[in-house]
Amino acid sequence: NAGVTQTPKFRILKIGQSMTLQCTQDMNHNYMYWYRQDPGMGLKLIYYSVGAGITDKGEVPNGYNVSRSTTEDFPLRLELAAPSQTSVYFCASEQNTEAFFGQGTRLTVV
Amino acid sequence: GDSVTQMEGPVTLSEEAFLTINCTYTATGYPSLFWYVQYPGEGLQLLLKATKADDKGSNKGFEATYRKETTSFHLEKGSVQVSDSAVYFCALIKPMDSNYQLIWGAGTKLIIKP
């Protein structure tokens, strides 16, 4: 009963480096989301997907890319890391209006 | 557009005090309303929900009533515990909307002192 699994839990990147945040869910949910949460702030939607092969931009998509080749996986790609991308990233899936969140990835760009 | 407004935190209370965290929303149609809780170092998890006007959601001693006339969904608990310390998020969703996604409030940090 894993739910939504994110890896890694922590990462430090240098400016200009790239990385992929992994997200997988085992609940067969069609809807998946990537959010970022800055200190003391709420959630901002980066990208979302309504099913395999379909993705769309959220509120703050610049500097990120996503893909959804399978129902289970929804990786988030940072191509050229910038200090402004220091944040905690949450992946979520949703079914019947209930969202299920991963534990989060704390990313620091230095 | 649709939006959710929560009272600013942090809210600091003593153990066994009565809790209210205000949430109001702006949305067309008939949204469903939610409270999520985020404990330190964890992701968000659903606390309670209400899908239509006058519904009351409840869980773990927390309650919230969907008030369409005041567009509100205030979270209440009669006697808080130290373990309730967390960040609470109010959210809405419109199941029939083509942009089918949760709209989040900014979150309210709750601190309970023993």
**B45 has a chain A CB within 8 A of its CB:** yes
Closest CA to A33 of B41, B34, B6, B44: B44
Determine the Cα–Cα distance for residues A101 and B84; give it in Å rounded to an integer.
19
Confidence at residue B30, expressed as pLDDT on a 0 to 100 scale: 83
| Chain A positions in Cβ-Cβ contact with residue B109 (cut-off 8 Å) | 40
Q: What is the mean pLDDT of residues B77-85?
A: 97
Cα(first)–Cα(last) distance of chain B, in Å? Answer: 41
Determine the Cα–Cα distance for residues B54 and B98; give it in Å rounded to an integer.
25
Q: What is the mean pLDDT of residues A74-84?
A: 96
Q: Give, for B87, the enclosing helix (H) or strand (E).
A: strand B86-93
pLDDT tens for each residue of A26-53: 999 999 999 999 887 788 999 999 999 9
| Chain B positions in Cβ-Cβ contact with residue A48 (cut-off 8 Å) | 101
Determine the Cα–Cα distance for residues A76 and A68; give it in Å rounded to an integer.
10
Q: Which residues pair with B49 in a beta bridge?
A: B34
Determine the Cα–Cα distance for residues A41 and A37; give it in Å rounded to an integer.
6
pLDDT tens for each residue of A11-31: 999 999 999 999 999 999 999
**B102 has a chain A CB within 8 A of its CB:** yes
- Chain A nearest-CA distance from B36, in A, is 9
| Chain B positions in Cβ-Cβ contact with residue A40 (cut-off 8 Å) | 109
Query: φ, ψ for residue A55 (rounded to 5)?
Result: -135, 160
Q: Which of B43, B51, B106 sits opposite A42 (nearest CB)?
A: B106
| Chain B positions in Cβ-Cβ contact with residue A33 (cut-off 8 Å) | 101-102
Query: φ, ψ for residue A17 (rounded to 5)?
Result: -75, 165
Determine the Cα–Cα distance for residues A35 and A15; give it in Å rounded to an integer.
21
Query: φ, ψ for residue B83 (rounded to 5)?
Result: -70, -10
Instruction: State the Cα torsion A22-A26-A29-A35 to the nearest 10°.
Output: -30
pLDDT tens for each residue of B9-50: 899 999 999 999 999 999 888 889 999 999 988 889 999 999
Interface test with A, best of B46, B98, B99, B101 (most A CBs within 10 A): B101
pLDDT band at A96; cut points 50, 70, 90: confident
Look at the alpha carbons of B95, B97, B100, B106 in this order and tell me if their dihedral is positive or negative. negative
Between strands A43-51 and A31-37, the pairing is antiparallel
**B35 has a chain A CB within 8 A of its CB:** no
Interface test with A, best of B90, B99, B104, B109 (most A CBs within 10 A): B104
As a whole number of Å, the CA-based R_g of chain B is 14
Determine the Cα–Cα distance for residues B34 and B91; give it in Å rounded to an integer.
5
